[in-house]
Structure 1
Amino acid sequence: MANYDEILNWYQTFTPNPEQRKNWYGSVAETYDRVRPKYDRAFLARALAVAEVPQHGRILEIGCGPGTATRSLAQMGYYVVALEPSLEACEIARQHVAAYANVEIINTNFEEWEPENRSFDAILAATSWHWVAPDHKHLKVAFVLKDRGALVLLWNSAMQPPSHIFAHLAEVIEGDLPTFATFKDRDTELSEIRVFATIAIESGLFVNLIEEYRSHQVDYSIDDYLQLLTTYSPWIALAPERRRELLESLRILLAQKCGDLIPLAYVSIFHVASKR
């Protein structure tokens, strides 16, 4: 993602069809829930503290997926309205928060959702803001936020093996997945993700942008790493047979290079901006 136009229309790389976009992750919702990294509870709490969300405040979550961040928000005692267009992801999220009366999960997207005179202390998008259609989204967020409310953009970057391992993987996938075959260091990840927050500030509706990040390293089994890959959009967009072929090639390669476990790194980032 090299420029504003690519950022604003990111999802159209994979599907310009609004109906397809609503259920893009539907087929991998269970896998997504199992292998995608969670959001560190302390880091999420820090983001909400920076956003000055009051205790038991009202949060609108955009694109909650299978409830990756929603569970923590529920446990922290916030009142949450979570929007998710994928029915499969909605059902998983509802299971995760079934014990919490302070959470409402609605099967819709932000574009079609009607506020019905509701307002919120914060609007949070956890690795989902790039899927919201750019037309008027900042205006709608500002409209729904209370005075002094905050937009909170929370991200986990794509998980990557070390560069020397990634180079071998890239040789296998670059013909089919050129955008996924480029290794990104931490500074590149931060710079690309920061563009979304910069665009929000440039809308003139938000001020006082604050950014914080934390770096993580974890070990995955080869099976879990290959399953993780299937939850990333470039892989979802592949023809099923070709995806299976590439994954099998990677399985053989990783067994040779890594043994049983593959080390992965990623960055958690938040951007908080206050309503003007």
Structure 2
Amino acid sequence: MERKNTFNEIAEEYDKYRPSYPEQLFTDIFEFAAIKEGDSILEIGCGTGQATKGFVELGFDNLTCIELGQNLAEFTREKFRNNPNVNIINSPFETWKSEKSSFDLAISGTAFHFIQPQEDGYRKVFDLLSDEGSIAFFWTVHVPSYDDVSNRIRESYKRYAPQLDDSKNPTIEKIIDERSVLTLKDGLFKELEVKQYNCNHSYTANEYISLLNTNSRHRLIPEDVRFELFGEIIAAIEEHGGTLIKPQVVVLFHAKKNIK
């Protein structure tokens, strides 16, 4: 199973345990993009509508949301059943044919990296935007911690799933550099703005395991190995006070369509 397909199995859990995006993120997007009420927004990979909700709550509900997973699309369609202008479409973005000529803003929350190849994804978004349109793609990025409980959890990963050892993760700076290059590649977009939002989330042991169970890379671990790994993570958290503080950064990439 591909990583991008793992979320479809756990729509309700994903919606319950994944942290929401900071409100300031949506305010900044509206300021950067200079969109107005009624402008059309394209969302790529809406999942359970966590980012969708942020736009709707600020009064921008003219959304066309493309979602690969059937269960996720049905879940999100039900969530926004009272918002007739929120249109949820169950389709791979790569093969989706738009009935609308152009959009004012394209957004994607922790999803656009699943569009492959990336260059084709950016090109398709470019073609779907109006001449004054822009993109606002954002990602939640894990930040490694090195306190006692985090170090103990890291040792468990090294034993059971060394591919998930977060001490080997690229730095925030490298992630920003690589995504910036992709965004500006081929000259499709210009005036790139990057902004970071720092946040800490507190989890009990069981809440943290529920969160990990919504992570695509964890869901690809064999079930018996995952059981052992999760058991050790629970023990580590409970033996260190019963609560884990997890820092994360949301990184926003906003750029305007480049009309040559």
TM-score normalized by the length of structure 1: 0.86
| 1:166 aligned partner | 150
Q: Give how far 1:177 is off.
A: 2.5
Residue 45 of structure 1 is aligned with which of 27, 30, 41?
27
Q: Residue 198 in 1 paired to residue 151 in 2?
A: no
Question: 125, 142, 147: which is aligned to 1:141?
Answer: 125
1:116 aligns with 2:99: yes
How far is 1:102 from its partner? 1.7
Distance 1:21 1:195 in 2: 21
2:203 is aligned with what amino acid? Y
Partner Cα separation in structure 2 for residue 230 and residue 106 of structure 1: 26
The letter of the residue matching 1:265 is: P
1:237–1:22 Cα change, 3 Å: closer
> Aligned to 1:168, what secondary structure does the other structure show?
helix
CA offsets 1:181-203 (integer angstroms, 9 cap, x no match): 12379x91243144223212022
Distance 1:232 1:207, change over 3 A: same
Structure 1 stretches lacking a partner, 5+ long:
1-14
Query: Would you say how many aligned residue pairs link Structure 1 and Structure 2?
Result: 256
**Alignment match of 1:101 (pick from 70, 84, 95):** 84
Q: Where has structure 1 moved over 3 Å in runs of 4 or more?
A: 159-164
> Post-superposition shift, 1:163?
4.1
Q: Matched residue of 1:199: which SS?
A: helix
Residue matched to 2:233: 250
Q: Aligned equivalents of 2:105 and 2:249: distance in 1? A: 23
Q: Deviations over 1:127-180 (max 9, x none)?
A: 001101125111111100000211111121136555442221111112432232
How far, CA to CA, are the matches of 1:248 and 1:209 in structure 2? 43
Paired position in structure 2 for 1:80:
63
Q: Greater share of helix residues, 1 or 2?
A: 2
User: Residues 194 and 44 (structure 1 numbering): CA distance in 2 closer, same or farther, change over 3 Å?
Assistant: farther
| 3-state SS of paired residue (1:136) | helix
Paired residues of 2:4 and 2:216 also in contact (CA < 8 A) = no
Give the counterpart of 1:154 among 129, 133, 138: 138
Aligned equivalents of 2:83, 2:46: Cα separation in 1: 16
- Provide the alpha-carbon RMSD of the alignment: 2.0
Partner of 2:209: 226
Kept after mapping to 1: 8 A contact 2:3/2:216: no
Equivalent residue of 1:183, what SS?
helix
Q: Residues 33 and 159 from structure 1, CA distance in 2 versus in 1: closer, same or farther, beyond 3 angstroms?
A: farther
Residues 228, 193 of structure 1: alpha-carbon distance in 2 compared, 3 angstrom cutoff: farther
Query: Normalising to structure 2: TM-score of the pair?
Result: 0.91
Aligned partners of 2:177, 2:84: CA distance in 1, in Å?
34
Distance (Å, rounded) in 2 between the aligned partners of 1:41 and 1:215:
12
Secondary structure in structure 1 of the residue aligned to 2:93: coil
2:114 counterpart residue number? 131
**Cα distance in 1, alignment partners of residues 113 and 100 from structure 2:** 26
Amino acid at match of 2:54: S
Distance in 2, Cα, partners of 1:245 & 1:28: 21
- Listed as ranges, the matches of 1:169-180 within 5 Å are 169-180=153-164
Identity %: 27
Q: Is the 8 A contact 2:107 2:136 kept in 1?
A: yes
Rounded Cα–Cα distance in structure 2 between residues aligned with 1:104 and 1:21: 25
Paired residues of 1:148 and 1:274 also in contact (CA < 8 A)? yes
SS where residue 130 of structure 2 aligns?
strand
Q: State the Cα distance separating 1:45 from its structure 2 match.
A: 1.8
C-alpha spacing 1:64/1:99, structure 2 compared with 1 (3 Å): same
Q: Letter of the 1:111 partner, please give it.
A: E
